[in-house]
Amino acid sequence: WKKEEFRNCNQTPFCKRARSRTPGSSDLIATHVAITDGDLTANLIPKSQSESNPKPLILTLSVFQDGILRLKIDEDPSLNPPKKRFQVPDVVVSQFSDTKLWLQRLTSEDDGLSYAVYLSDGYSAVLRHDPFELFIRDDNSGDRVISFNSHGLFDFEHLREKNEDENWEETFRSHTDKRPYGPQSISFDVSFYDADFVYGIPERATSLALKPTRGPNVEESEPYRLFNLDVFEYIHESPFGLYGSIPFMLSHGKARGTSGFFWLNAAEMQIDVLAPGWDAESGISLPSSQNRIDTMWMSEAGVVDAFFFVGPRPKDVLRQYAAVTGPSALPQMFAVAYHQCRWNYRDEEDVENVDAKFDEYDIPYDILWLDIEHTNGKRYFTWDRVLFPNPEEMQRKLAAKGRHMVTIVDPHIKRDDNFHLHKEASEKGYYVKDSSGNDFDGWCWPGSSSYADTLSPEIRSWWADKFSYQSYVGSTPSLYIWNDMNEPSVFNGPEVTMPRDALHYGGVEHRELHNAYGYYFHMATAEGLVRRGEGKDRPFVLSRALFAGSQRYGAVWTGDNTADWDQLRVSVPMVLTLGLTGMSFAGADVGGFFGNPETELLVRWYQLGAFYPFFRAHAHHDTKRREPWLFGERNTGLIRDAIHVRYALLPYFYTLFREANTTGVPVARPIWMEFPSDEATFSNDEAFMVGNSILVQGIYTERAKHASVYLPGKQSWYDLRTGTVYKGGVTHKLEVTEESIPAFQRGGTILPRKDRFRRSSTQMTNDPFTLVIALNSSQAAEGELYIDDGSSFGFLEGAFIHRRFIFANGKLTSVDLAPTSGGNVSHRSDVVIERIILLGHTPGSKNALIEPSNQKVDIELGPLWVQRERSPVFMTIRKPNVRVAEDWTIKIL
């Protein structure tokens, strides 16, 4: 972490200016308020007509289904501004516009200063014209939900011609930004009402609940920064922005629930969370009956294109956000399993040995990764033919065991005239240009490099074609892709990235789209894999940079973390925050990228990482080898067990990924998402929920003997490992062993498992299921299971099985959740349930009756985990062997 190499707010003129503004300094009023084409439109002009010919800003307010409000503010294009301001394309999903509600009428409010429009049942959007302010109102209570410019901090710097005595250049360290268009920043305040905490705006290493950055009684800090950067050895606690940016914030409070605000803007952004009382001297009064969190948003360029989500439950906001940016893609089954990575598995022999060792030690894994050293001189799509003479053969050997491989493809292209990719890209003019219009030339792994301009759809299409088997020589159908360095990382650029005055397709300045550069690259790569598989094979692409919408293209991880306990700890809020902002498929490098973890830390990391949505071990190439079998029999066993837990739970994880795919609700969730009115959970980021059924608490200290775990709700919790019952709504001081971290199944849920551990998930396809039924106080429970072929897009046409299992009144029923009509394809499966374990059931029953087959089966005491010695035993229905694809009931006799 080299603090001096990065700009702080004070060194960033737009941020410094915005932060020094005082409440009420905006004097804009809204005029010409009207309904036009189903939108509310208005002009924003300064109230004090000091300028003789003020240029108005054009405001457009649109309403969409499910309580989504979109606000756009831009310059008036008819007044010929010097340049069209950048609006981020291809992030809002195309279906979203279909959900627009055509506004019919404008209601004038009683105060005579405001107009209201319908937003959704029980909510209105209210525009006050003097001074300009916008808020959402709960019509039943009259309370505010969320508001814009209530503190009069809105500022919009119009593009203009340069005065002769002006110098717009900005210099940071040795870099000069020419800034040919001068100041064009935008800033405003947003207030969240009935909010106890705000969350979101990744990516950074900090707490889940965002701490105030300014205001009385808080330690003044930098604003939260959103600027995608390749940060060397980032620290575990900082408001500083890392590899990705999602300008989406959620608020949550006990009194009302959840709301959200998303600003679609890809320029550098800085956000202050203001502590109560920060505006004590402003003289602006807002409803004091509601808890409020005020925030200040500042961006270097772009337009206002903001979305307000009314919630009110946490999952509602996730669904509303997913309606705008899309839900996360459903990954292939293998991608949900365990990934083995290292910078670098050196050659084919190394790959073969590592692969063989996993089998020797009976540890499952699905994907082996190759980092940059596998290429010929960091030319992606090529192989170092000395180290990897037969890449196809190598991949086929892995594929024969159902395993996959991932190779790295970064956006920097080596400037080597003999490299076909470079030759083609430069001839076609497909590179990002520098400020003088030449191909931008920056330094990265291969040395002098240029960067494909994937903002352009044409260039994305060209890039996507590079993944065809013909073009990517040595690739096979079991090979998938990793995009690294796509912030973009430019070693000799300002703040290790591309200069802001570099030019993209359509004359867009890099400053305007910086945070979305990696997103477009990720998109193009994923598209390449879809094309390669002729639309039949779901892509897997891991990206380091990310932006709103990245969830549609693949997985992300938290970048180059470090092997220490603090970073293990912070990985949880980082992954949870990504999930809250739509990026469900996220994880941190297990073991820590930099440095050598002590064995205990590595084991603890595996135990926690097994519950990350994306579960990959990775290590820097200067670190000691740390494959699971290198730390003695005992530790190998512990790591194997952690990985086994993940494989056992794959059916559950996969079902959760499908849920994320249809609802936007993340796989890993803050506890408050499941227990929205339990205040004790609001700032808990040491523990989290996997789906609605499992609560996990990491162990973040050495030689921990005890852990305090808060188990929310009224129902009991069952230790995942031992089945021991714990009361809900209590903080338990638990003994901790090295064997596992605390993890619990919530009473009232049913977990689907697969307890046979194969070499990889591929061989588990036909294995039977185990159901673990954890009963609640009414001796009832529910759970879901989603199954498809694990790889194709057939599920989109209905080729899947989706069951709900309901246990009540001593009877387990399997109900079809798949829509009966619709798809003409179906997913066939003969897979059966071999074991049903009942936790919390009164003992005594000896038999169960299966209907409709009218067959009796035994009930006996069986182990909770068959693979473990001395596993506690519970009431187990032995070999019901009912098919998961069918309807049935099992009645306990």
Among 83, 879, 883, 891, binds other proteins (CB under 8 A): 879
Place of tokens 């170092």: 384
Place of tokens 């902002």: 581
Q: How far is the CB of 881 from other proteins (least distance, A)?
A: 9
Q: How far is the CB of 598 from other proteins (least distance, A)?
A: 14
Under the criterion CB under 8 A, does residue 871 sit at the interface with other proteins? yes
Taking CA atoms, 31 is separated from 28, 40, 79, 317, in Å, by: 10, 12, 17, 31
Under the criterion CB under 8 A, does residue 863 sit at the interface with other proteins? yes
Beta carbons within 8 Å of 174's beta carbon, 6+ residues apart: none
Q: How far is the CB of 803 from other proteins (least distance, A)?
A: 22
Alpha-carbon gap, residue 82 to 85, rounded angstroms: 9
Provide the residue type at 616 as one letter. Answer: R
Among 162, 396, 625, 856, binds other proteins (CB under 8 A): 625
Instruction: Decide whether 246 or 363 has the Cβ nearer to other proteins.
Output: 363
Instruction: Decide whether 523 or 859 has the Cβ nearer to other proteins.
Output: 859
Under the criterion CB under 8 A, does residue 802 sit at the interface with other proteins? no
Q: How far is the CB of 434 from other proteins (least distance, A)?
A: 11
Under the criterion CB under 8 A, does residue 777 sit at the interface with other proteins? no
Under the criterion CB under 8 A, does residue 436 sit at the interface with other proteins? no
CB 770 within 8 A of CB 835: yes
For residue 427, how many other CB atoms are within 10 A of its CB?
A: 8
Contact set for other proteins, span 747-766 (CB under 8 A): 755-759, 763, 766
Structure tokens at 794: 């057939």
Under the criterion CB under 8 A, does residue 158 sit at the interface with other proteins? no
Q: How far is the CB of 81 from other proteins (least distance, A)?
A: 34
Place of tokens 């702080």: 8
CB 259 within 8 A of CB 311: yes
Taking CA atoms, 389 is separated from 356, 375, 385, 393, in Å, by: 19, 11, 4, 9
**How many residues belong to the site for other proteins (CB under 8 A)?**
49
Q: How far is the CB of 126 from other proteins (least distance, A)?
A: 50
Residues paired with 273 in a beta bridge: 295
Q: What is the dihedral of CA 597, 603, 604, 610, to 10 degrees?
A: 120
Under the criterion CB under 8 A, does residue 169 sit at the interface with other proteins? no
Q: How far is the CB of 235 from other proteins (least distance, A)?
A: 13
Under the criterion CB under 8 A, does residue 17 sit at the interface with other proteins? no
CB 598 within 8 A of CB 591: no
Instruction: Decide whether 495 or 674 has the Cβ nearer to other proteins.
Output: 495
Among 83, 357, 401, 732, binds other proteins (CB under 8 A): 401
Q: How far is the CB of 62 from other proteins (least distance, A)?
A: 44
Of the candidate spans 48-56, 438-446, 453-461, 790-798, the one that interacts with other proteins by CB under 8 A turns out to be 438-446
Q: How far is the CB of 757 from other proteins (least distance, A)?
A: 5
Place of tokens 């519950």: 611
Interaction pattern, residues 208-247, with other proteins; x per rule: CB under 8 A: ------------------------xx--------------
Q: What is the dihedral of CA 560, 452, 336, 266, to 10 degrees?
A: 70
Q: Which helix (H) or strand (E) segment is 98 a member of?
A: none
Under the criterion CB under 8 A, does residue 111 sit at the interface with other proteins? no
Residues paired with 73 in a beta bridge: 59, 304
Q: Which helix (H) or strand (E) segment is 378 a member of?
A: none
Q: How far is the CB of 555 from other proteins (least distance, A)?
A: 22
Instruction: Decide whether 3 or 703 has the Cβ nearer to other proteins.
Output: 3
167 prior amide bond cis, ω within 30: no
Under the criterion CB under 8 A, does residue 362 sit at the interface with other proteins? yes
Under the criterion CB under 8 A, does residue 866 sit at the interface with other proteins? yes
Under the criterion CB under 8 A, does residue 357 sit at the interface with other proteins? no
Of the candidate spans 38-46, 144-152, 437-445, 563-571, the one that interacts with other proteins by CB under 8 A turns out to be 437-445
Among 10, 289, 448, 842, binds other proteins (CB under 8 A): 448
Contact set for other proteins, span 814-843 (CB under 8 A): 834-835
Provide the residue type at 286 as one letter. Answer: L
Among 94, 164, 418, 624, binds other proteins (CB under 8 A): 624
Among 162, 385, 423, 621, binds other proteins (CB under 8 A): 621
Interaction pattern, residues 569-608, with other proteins; x per rule: CB under 8 A: ----------------------------------------
Provide the residue type at 13 as one letter. Answer: P
Q: How far is the CB of 368 from other proteins (least distance, A)?
A: 16
Taking CA atoms, 470 is separated from 306, 386, 394, 473, 477, in Å, by: 43, 21, 18, 6, 12
Longest Cα–Cα distance in the chain: 93
Alpha-carbon gap, residue 302 to 87, rounded angstroms: 6
Classify residue 241 as exposed, middle or buried by CB count within 10 Å of its CB (0-12, 13-18, 19+).
buried
Instruction: Decide whether 196 or 434 has the Cβ nearer to other proteins.
Output: 434
Under the criterion CB under 8 A, does residue 194 sit at the interface with other proteins? no
Alpha-carbon gap, residue 25 to 21, rounded angstroms: 7
C-alpha triplet 504, 230, 584: angle, nearest 5°:
90
Q: How far is the CB of 883 from other proteins (least distance, A)?
A: 14
**Burial letters 749-765, b for 16+ CB under 10 A, else e:** bbbbbbbebbbbbbebe
Instruction: Decide whether 223 or 592 has the Cβ nearer to other proteins.
Output: 592
Helices (H), 268-410: 314-325, 333-336, 348-360, 391-400
Interaction pattern, residues 543-562, with other proteins; x per rule: CB under 8 A: --------------------
Helices (H), 262-313: none
Instruction: Decide whether 6 or 805 has the Cβ nearer to other proteins.
Output: 6
**What positions carry a catalytic annotation?**
484, 487, 560
Contact set for other proteins, span 469-508 (CB under 8 A): 490-492, 496
Beta carbons within 8 Å of 640's beta carbon, 6+ residues apart: 361, 362, 363, 628
Instruction: Decide whether 43 or 450 has the Cβ nearer to other proteins.
Output: 450
If DSSP codes are grouped into helix, strand and coil, which group holds residue 642? helix
670 prior amide bond cis, ω within 30: no
Beta carbons within 8 Å of 169's beta carbon, 6+ residues apart: 176, 177, 178, 179
Instruction: Decide whether 82 or 637 has the Cβ nearer to other proteins.
Output: 637
Under the criterion CB under 8 A, does residue 102 sit at the interface with other proteins? no
User: CA torsion sign, 724 to 729 to 734 to 740?
Assistant: positive
Contact set for other proteins, span 644-683 (CB under 8 A): 644
Contact set for other proteins, span 173-192 (CB under 8 A): 173-174
Q: How far is the CB of 429 from other proteins (least distance, A)?
A: 22
Among 200, 239, 244, 402, binds other proteins (CB under 8 A): 402
Interface residues toward other proteins, by CB under 8 A:
2-5, 173-174, 232-233, 350, 362, 400-402, 442-445, 447-448, 490-492, 496, 620-625, 644, 755-759, 763, 766-767, 834-835, 863, 866-871, 878-879
